Amino acid sequence: MPNIDRRDFIKLVGAGGVGVGAGVVLRESIKHPKEHLIPHVLAPEDYSSGVATWYNSVCSMCSAGCGISVRTREGRAKKIEGNPSHAVNQGGLCAVGQAGLQVLYNPDRLTGPLLQSANRGSDGFTQITWEDGLTRVASRLDVLRAAGRGNRIALLTRGVGGHLAELLESFAEGVGTDQLHHYDYDHPHALYAANERFFGKQHLPYYDLSNTRHLLSFGADYLAGWLSPVHHSLGFANSRHGGDNRGYFVQIEPRMSPSGAAADEWVPAKPGTEGILALGLAHHIVASGHYEGEDINEWKDVLSAYTLEKVAEETDVSESVLRRLAESFANASPSLAIGGDGAGNNSNGVDTLVAINALNYLAGNVGEVGGVIFNPDPAGATSHSRQANYQTLAQLAESARAGEIDVLILNDVNPVFTMPLASEFKAALAQIPFIVSLSSFIDETSALADVILPSHTYLESWGDAFPEQGVGFSIGAVSQPVIAPLYNTKATGDIVLDLARRIGKPMRWDSTEDCIKDGWNKIYQESDSNTRTESFESFWTALLKAGVWGKKNHLKTDTSRPNANTIASIGVDAPTFSGDAELYPFVLQPYRSGMHDGRAANLPWIQELPDAMTSVVYGSWVEINPKTAKDLGLTEGDLVDIESVEGAVRAPILVYPAIRPDVIAMPIGQGHTNYGRYASNRGANPLEILSPLVDDNSGNVASNATRVKIVATGKHVEIVKTGGKSRDLGRDIVQTTGGDDHTAQTNSIPITVIPT
């Protein structure tokens, strides 16, 4: 009977549907058999939370060397916080520092030694034992060393400071090579060169933002990436509200950075003309009688060409602004001028930074509180003398191509990602017969390795750090393991020590810890015997507990003057750019956003952290001026090719209100091809298309000197960002008050630099 069939059908379908629904509801309702209706938000009275153990250590996410306190529970690190007693960060910590935990717990971390059993660059890695891996590497090294061809071994490591640097030196010496290079993309080569030329010092001075009353920042994103951002943030805040009158901050850069946003004034000078602008200000200071030194005539001579009129024309900053800046800079005491990547990574980078030093000198800021203060020599080794600039790496690549390198040892360094494609660095690596990587992750460079001996993360291993940019006196801190190693990995130092033993050149330490302790023993011995603790052991314990060590050895005010030759050498040429201005109308500024140099791109918290200026997450973008966008008929999300002479990258347009119309900017950090699940195949890497235009004075690539053109692809993508409409439409959400009636500073919370 057809009716029955229909009914049966209805019944069956109905029963099935109801059954599924009931099942889902049932599953959900019984999933938590104990639905305590008062959770931890209001914990029951008899509940007591577990007790955490805190370890003080050092952050290794960048080279600033902030002190950290790591909270651990049940043997697992749970949270990283700034160490309040560390003079560099005083309890503060940046987002990348917070995300250090995800280096430790990253799902893409290597869990044991790997051997490339297929073609290089493929996924053909197989698990091997440490014994196997170390033997393979040691045998290679041994052969070369024994044959006296140790120089065919190259070591390329990330910037390692402190006593680990000594350990690596010792290893290099043991195998008989001088090819030991530290490489950090963001190492300020130009700044070192400029300071050496002007001040005659190979170390970074301490820029005392904290006490300055007037800051001129030439392309230095001091709050977000330059040298020691957390310390600068403290200084920035303190200068604004810690003292009697509020510091005035001026940011001179073609694309507004977070520091530009925080500044009181943003001056979009033409890219590469920062030095000319500085000399213009210097000219005005000297010409208007603010400088009264004995060498005033020499200065007048050298600055005569930089009249405000000419400078205004060259920099695209009006004369009145220049005059005002010069006057307020000269009148404010103390004042400070700093020059960062935006100014230094140009074809005239070193000259520019020298000009900025000159400005500081003329305004009387050198050696003054609130100005440029020279650090005492660091207590431990620093890496600058070994830091590889672009030219060094290009040479290494050249040697590799020439077949002069047999073994390359990589330590947590990713030059394949940060070197421009034009350097053909990756292709050069292919010529090296044997590559070992000590990285914790497979990145673009490690992927080319034959053997990967994964090292501990910084939270599992020993180390120490003596912050290069300093705080005006000697400080250092020990990095200690806060949890037992998660995986079958070894500390970098231990791997090196082991290799040294295997090639018959054992070093004088048994372990990394031993090496660090040995180094600190020396510091202990050199310290004042009247004030120091009874024994090294008690000193060591106290050091680990505090996480930081410091010595109040402020240098006396430096009164030395630059000699006549130095003064005579001052002068900034107009910047040169690669690419024809007609064909390539825009200057590309790759800038460091939250991802550091790209090494933080595999941390999901960082990927999900909205960009400080644009609130974009998970991807790359091209910032262009609204007017430019209108002229080109581009809107947000239009996919474009950014083409330079060297190549092209593809990214969506983001209309950015605060960038010069002749400049486009792209963040560095995305565009990884092989860096784990969170970073791979996401966004674009603007470093790829940079021209290898080198500033000969620093030997580094002028990364802001590549001209590009924008080629619309006609495609459109949605830029993933968290913000809605970034205009407050008169709703007074962020309220401001005039400069005159800010009687507030007395009520603000004073920030003190804690001398330890």
Partner 1 sequence: MSFLDRITEGWRKNRKPGYYEDFDYHWAMTIDLDQCSGCGACVTACQAENNLPIVGEDAFTKGREIKWLRIEHYWEGEYPDVKLNVIPMMCQHCDSAPCETVCPVSATYHNQDGLNTQIYNRCIGTRSCAVYCPYEVRYFNYNDHTWESPLDQQLNPDVSVREKGVMEKCTFCIQRIRQAKDNAKDDGRRRVRDGEVQPACVQTCPSKAMVFGDRNDPQSQVSQSLNDPRSYKVLDELNTNSSVVYLKKVEAEG
Partner 2 sequence: MHGEPNQLKYTDIHNDVVRSIVETGPNYYIALVTAFALTLICFFFPWFYQLYYGIGAAGMNHPSVWGTYLASFIFWIGLSHSGTLLSCVLHITNSSWRKAMYRSAEAMTLFSLVVAAIMVMVHVGRPWFIHWAAPYPNQMEMWPNFRSPLLFDVMAITTYLTGSTIFIYMGSIPDFAAVRDRTRGWRNTMYSLMSLGWRGTDTEWHRLHWAYTFLAVLIIPLAVSVHSIVSWDFAMSIVPALHQTIFAPYFVVGAIYSGTAGIVTVMFVLRKFMDFGQYITELHFDNLGKLLLVLSLLWTYINVVEVFTGFYSGASGETEALNYRLFGFYAPLYWEMITFCAIAPLLCAFKSFRTSFVPMLVLSIAINIGMYTERFLIVATSLSRQYLPDAWGLYVPSAVEISILLGTFALFTTLFLLFVKVFPSVSMYEVKETMESPKKSPPAASEGSPA
Q: Which does 233 bind (CB under 5 to 8 A by kind): partner 2, partner 1, none?
A: partner 1
Parallel, antiparallel or unpaired: strands 648-655 and 153-157: unpaired
666 - beta bridge partners? 590
Q: What is the dihedral of CA 366, 372, 374, 380, to 10 degrees?
A: -170
Task: Indicate whether 720 belongs to the interface with partner 2 (CB under 8 A).
Answer: no
Task: Indicate whether 714 belongs to the interface with partner 2 (CB under 8 A).
Answer: no
Q: Structure tokens of 721?
A: 């960002």
Q: How far is Cα 170 from Cα 438, in angstroms, rounded to an integer?
A: 17
Nearest CB to partner 2, comparing residues 22 and 581: 22
- Separation of first and last alpha carbons in the chain: 95
Q: Which does 14 bind (CB under 5 to 8 A by kind): partner 2, partner 1, none?
A: partner 2
Q: Which does 116 bind (CB under 5 to 8 A by kind): partner 1, partner 2, none?
A: none
Q: How far is Cα 341 from Cα 221, in angstroms, rounded to an integer?
A: 8
Q: Are 721 and 614 in contact (CB under 8 A)?
A: yes
For residues 21 to 40, the per-residue mask of contacts with partner 2, x marking binding by CB under 8 A and - elsewhere, is x--xx--xx-----x-xx--
In b/e form, how buried is each residue of 569-594, taking b as 16+ CB within 10 angstroms? Answer: ebbbeebebbbeeeebbbbbbbbbbb
Nearest CB to partner 1, comparing residues 601 and 609: 609
Task: Indicate whether 20 belongs to the interface with partner 2 (CB under 8 A).
Answer: yes
Least CB distance from residue 633 to partner 2, whole Å? Answer: 22
Contacts of 727 (CB under 8 A, 6+ apart): none
Q: Which does 17 bind (CB under 5 to 8 A by kind): partner 1, partner 2, none?
A: partner 2
Stretch that binds partner 2, among 18-26, 102-110, 331-339, 686-694 (CB under 8 A): 18-26
Count residues near partner 2 (CB under 8 A).
27
Q: Is the Cα dihedral 61, 65, 68, 73 positive or negative?
A: positive
Q: Which does 333 bind (CB under 5 to 8 A by kind): partner 1, partner 2, none?
A: none
H or E segment and range at residue 344? helix 341-344
Least CB distance from residue 717 to partner 1, whole Å? Answer: 10
Least CB distance from residue 273 to partner 1, whole Å? Answer: 15
> Residue 508's CB: how many other CB atoms inside 10 A?
10
Task: Indicate whether 749 belongs to the interface with partner 2 (CB under 8 A).
Answer: no
Least CB distance from residue 651 to partner 1, whole Å? Answer: 15
Contacts of 96 (CB under 8 A, 6+ apart): 61, 62, 594, 595, 596, 600, 603, 606
Least CB distance from residue 153 to partner 1, whole Å? Answer: 35
For residues 172 to 201, the per-residue mask of contacts with partner 2, x marking binding by CB under 8 A and - elsewhere, is ------------------------------
Task: Indicate whether 726 belongs to the interface with partner 2 (CB under 8 A).
Answer: yes
Nearest CB to partner 1, comparing residues 165 and 234: 234
Q: Report DSSP state, residue 721.
A: B
Q: Which does 78 bind (CB under 5 to 8 A by kind): partner 2, partner 1, none?
A: partner 1
Least CB distance from residue 718 to partner 1, whole Å? Answer: 6
Least CB distance from residue 244 to partner 1, whole Å? Answer: 14
Q: Which does 223 bind (CB under 5 to 8 A by kind): partner 1, partner 2, none?
A: partner 1
Q: Are 180 and 386 in contact (CB under 8 A)?
A: yes
Q: How far is Cα 381 from Cα 387, in angstroms, rounded to an integer?
A: 12
C-alpha neighbours within 13 Å on the C-beta side of residue 193? 21
Least CB distance from residue 49 to partner 1, whole Å? Answer: 5
Nearest CB to partner 1, comparing residues 48 and 531: 48
Nearest CB to partner 1, comparing residues 62 and 400: 62
For residues 509 to 548, the per-residue mask of contacts with partner 2, x marking binding by CB under 8 A and - elsewhere, is ----------------------------------------
Under rule CB under 8 A, which residues in 353-392 are in contact with partner 2?
A: none
Under rule CB under 8 A, which residues in 615-634 are in contact with partner 2?
A: 615
> Residue 730's CB: how many other CB atoms inside 10 A?
6
Nearest CB to partner 2, comparing residues 631 and 728: 728
* C-alpha distances out from residue 529 to 377, 535, 536, 546, Å: 20, 10, 11, 20
Q: Exactly one of 633, 714, 730, 738 binds partner 2 (CB under 8 A); which one?
A: 730
Nearest CB to partner 1, comparing residues 268 and 519: 268
Contacts of 147 (CB under 8 A, 6+ apart): none
Q: Structure tokens of 618?
A: 């998970």
702: left (phi over 0), alpha (psi -120 to 50) or beta: beta
Least CB distance from residue 618 to partner 2, whole Å? Answer: 16
Nearest CB to partner 2, comparing residues 10 and 712: 10
Q: How far is Cα 156 from Cα 439, in angstroms, rounded to an integer?
A: 11
Chain positions contacting partner 2, by CB under 8 A: 3, 6, 9-10, 13-14, 17, 20-21, 24-25, 28-29, 35, 37-38, 615, 723-731, 733
